[in-house]
Amino acid sequence: MTEGTALLLNSVREQGGRIITVGTTSTRTLETIATANDGKFVAETGWTNIFIYPGYEFKAIDGMITNFHLPKSTLIMLVSALAGRDNVLNAYNNAVEERYRFFSFGDAMLIL
């Protein structure tokens, strides 16, 4: 994360704004940095081994745009941690009924 991005995200937080990520990779990145820095964003490079699953308390984000992931995957666990398992299952059932496309080149959802 660049210094400029860290400053912008901290400013959004300080002003009461919401942080919405696009994708699970950016979600994991922001959560890794915020977790290591008492909820603050700092300029940083590196890697993460964070595993987000139901019960996880989000420290960095308020929502996410993501696609419909494979069932029984770690990514669906991350989405369930944010939206709740029942909400995700309902969304997936509706997506199947409406013939949405799944996986990397499919439809997307906004989780708030």
Give the start-end residues of each E strand in the chain: 20-22, 63-67, 108-111
Query: Torsion over CA of 20, 23, 25 and 26, rounded to 10 degrees?
Result: -20
One digit per residue, the tens of pLDDT, for the chain of length 112 reads 999 999 999 999 999 999 999 999 999 999 999 999 999 999 999 999 999 999 999 999 999 999 988 888 999 999 999 999 999 999 999 999 998 888 777 788 999 9
Provide the pLDDT for residue 46. 95
Provide the pLDDT for residue 71. 81
CATH topology of domain 3-111: QueA-like (3.40.1780)
Would you give the distance in Å from CA 58 to the centre of its chain? 9
Asked whether the beta carbons of 108 and 65 are under 8 A apart, the reply is yes
Domain ranges of the chain: 3-111
CB pairs under 8 A, 24+ apart, for 97-106? 100/68, 101/68, 102/67, 102/68, 102/69, 102/70, 103/67, 103/68, 103/69, 103/70, 104/67, 106/67, 106/68
Q: What is the pTM of this model?
A: 0.91
